[in-house]
Amino acid sequence: MRRLLDAPGPVSSGMNPPAGAIAPLDALLLLLVLAAALATPIFEVLAVGFMIGRAGAIARGAPLGQAFALSAEARRFITAAVGLCVVFLPVVFFRAILREQQILEGSRSIPGSIALATLGALAGAHAWVALGHGRFSSFFRPISSFKALRGRGSTAQPELRAGAQSLARSLAQPALSWLILGLLGLLGSALWYLPPAAAVALRVESPWGVLLLVLGLFGLCAVVAILPFLQAHFAAERRLGAFAEVGAVRARIRRAPLAHAFALLACACASLPLQAFHIFTLPAEAKSTMAFVTLLLLYPAHLIAAWAYARGGRRAHDAPWALRGLGAGLRLPALLLMAAISLLLPYVAAHGSAAVLESALFLLPLPR
């Protein structure tokens, strides 16, 4: 498993932009695909694993700009994903219109179903040819695709199949690596976060319940203070046991206290807008929008935490006591704010006490 996690994927090798530079188009394409993955139940784990992998590169000393860089293979995959969305968008719209018509009339329209199946088949054939060509412009030329299928017939199939298989092979191993990273990252974070969060979420009407609540709040503050950096340590080491190495993380915090204080404030500020969405029951239509908002807030926050972790690793000695005290003082307001939100959230959240267990700092990709 270690060899699989360390294997370079198409998005971790062959970086085209220079070190530290951010290509705007690459960053936009990457964010769009990650947001789409976060809005899909299975692919959201892959997206979390991808973000952990990029944070691990930053934690090992790579420039922040590399978190948004794309290799040629990754750019091909992302443009293919965006192109597929463009091709099948008319099918999705037509299906939604047909469903509304069926609801209004109270019966199923056979001609409409046949038209939908035909449109889907045509879109699938066009997408197959465009994928085989491997160019983004091919997705916007359906007539050329149908001419290629009609003109070359079976001679076009080996070429198209080879192009699709090449793309699939270049993604298979990194996708499995992202899946394992995502699952291990969520598991390690849960082992730290869920016990104190459960103590805060429980509302036991007894003196022991009050004591449990107080202990949970103190434990939650302690976990929130170090969890983003434990996640960065896990991302750098790529093994579940890294979540237990608190001493190594605290040593880095002592060497760069101000950077870690800034990173913790960034994580807290990024999670605050997401905590507000627990108050309402979000409709299903808002899931894609919330995925993009969550990504724009949490991804940079975790990258900043990885940057602070790497900065602590570059220092040979602990910072002076004055800087360490200043860093602790800067972290305290963020911890108190998160504790206050966790205490009040069960009374205003749509899902009650369960909202405390779904904090954005726990690395869940979407508010539930």
pLDDT digits (tens, 9 = 90+) for 152-187: 544 455 655 665 566 666 666 777 888 889 889 988
Q: How much is the average pLDDT of 58-74? A: 81
- pLDDT at position 226 is 92
Q: How much is the average pLDDT of 93-108? A: 79
pLDDT digits (tens, 9 = 90+) for 101-130: 777 777 777 787 888 888 888 888 888 778
Asked whether the beta carbons of 120 and 91 are under 8 A apart, the reply is yes
CA 126 to chain CA centroid, nearest Å: 30
- pLDDT at position 262 is 94
Share of the chain above pLDDT 70, in %: 79
Q: What is the mean pLDDT of the chain?
A: 79
Reduced to 3 states, what is the DSSP secondary structure of residue 70? coil
Tell me the one-letter amino acid at 179. Answer: L
What b-and-e string marks burial along 229-265, b requiring 16 or more CB atoms within 10 Å of the CB? bbbbbbbbbbeeebbeeeebbeebbbbbbebbbbbbb
Query: What secondary structure, in 3-state letters, does 15-35 show?
Result: CCCCCCCCCHHHHHHHHHHHH
Give the whole-angstrom CA distance, residue 49 versus residue 174.
Answer: 10
- Long-range contacts, stretch 224-227, CB < 8 angstroms, 24+ apart: 224/264, 224/268, 224/334, 224/335, 224/338, 224/339, 224/361, 225/264, 225/331, 225/335, 226/250, 226/253, 227/189, 227/192, 227/193, 227/361, 227/362
Q: How much is the average pLDDT of 255-284? A: 83
Asked whether the beta carbons of 28 and 207 are under 8 A apart, the reply is no
| pTM metric for this prediction | 0.76
